[in-house]
Amino acid sequence: MIGIFDSGIGGLTILEEIKKIIVHNNIIYYADSKNNPYGTKTDDELKKITSDIVDYLINQNCKIIVIACNTATTRCISYLRSKYPNIIFIGTEPAIKIACDNNYLNTLVLGTTATVNSKSVQKLIEKNKKPHQKIYLKACEGLANAIETNNNIKIDELLKEYLSPYHDIDSIILGCTHYPYVKDKIQKYFPKAAIYDSSEGVAKHLKKVLISNNLLTRKGKQTIKIIK
């Protein structure tokens, strides 16, 4: 059984990609909307919340868990890996490498406050950015929650506030799994920019890890259970 979790509907954008290439393994998706947003929580709060979900998923017989959330990954994955050494964790991090590899000059990374201020994001930049490239980090506080609660007025207000100060951006990284839901609205601010999210990368990585650990199911009807 593959476990997947996020602070609500965000990780469903990852689940969609997983379903395209992993077609027999059973999946359980835990949408932790009651604790949304994760992005403004402390590390200790996040460790407690994510441990509770991992305990639940282990009880459901999950051997591999996808953290379909940039915030929980950048803040807790090392902690969870050492707390649960027998579980394989697959994380989700902003796709900064893709923008750097594709030679974009001005990249805007959008994420929660916890993600953009994380050491993991700093490390991704140090590892991938070439000297002539610029990377701007923008914490979009409130946006994931506005998407989770389907508050369109708030979404439009926040996007205006957060995006209008930027010009000449040629690539945008959606560093929160909720943001693909408003990709078209973001694109309107930067019609020519390439927009990337991590879903395809996470799905491909998951498949590779399933194969190398002999966990890829090769036949049978897949069941997908969503827990809210």
Residues that bind ligand DGL (CB under 6 A): 6-7, 10, 36-39, 69-71, 112, 115, 144, 176-178
Nearest distance from C-beta of residue 91 to ligand DGL, angstroms: 11
Question: Of the two residues 3 and 37, which places its CB atom closer to ligand DGL in the complex?
Answer: 37
Nearest distance from C-beta of residue 147 to ligand DGL, angstroms: 9
Tell me if residue 69 is catalytic: yes
Interstrand relation of 64-67 and 171-175 (parallel, antiparallel or unpaired): unpaired
Distance of CA 39 to the CA centre of its chain: 12
d(CA 14, CA 207) in angstroms, rounded, equals 13
Question: Of the two residues 146 and 169, which places its CB atom closer to ligand DGL in the complex?
Answer: 146
Question: Of the two residues 97 and 178, which places its CB atom closer to ligand DGL in the complex?
Answer: 178
Long-range interactions of 153-160: CB distance < 8 A, separation 24+: 155/182, 155/185, 156/185, 159/185, 159/186, 159/189
Tell me if residue 76 is catalytic: no
- Candidate list 62, 76, 100, 176, residue with the active-site label: 176
Interstrand relation of 64-67 and 2-6 (parallel, antiparallel or unpaired): parallel
3-state secondary structure (DSSP) of residue 152: helix
- Candidate list 69, 76, 100, 140, residue with the active-site label: 69
Q: Which residue type, as a one-letter code, is found at position 148?
A: E
Token pair in block for residue 52: 């509770």
Token pair in block for residue 16: 């969609």
Question: Of the two residues 26 and 151, which places its CB atom closer to ligand DGL in the complex?
Answer: 151
| Cα–Cα nearest to 197, from 182, 207, 208, 219 | 182
Nearest distance from C-beta of residue 218 to ligand DGL, angstroms: 31
Nearest distance from C-beta of residue 30 to ligand DGL, angstroms: 13
Residues acting as catalytic residues: 69, 176
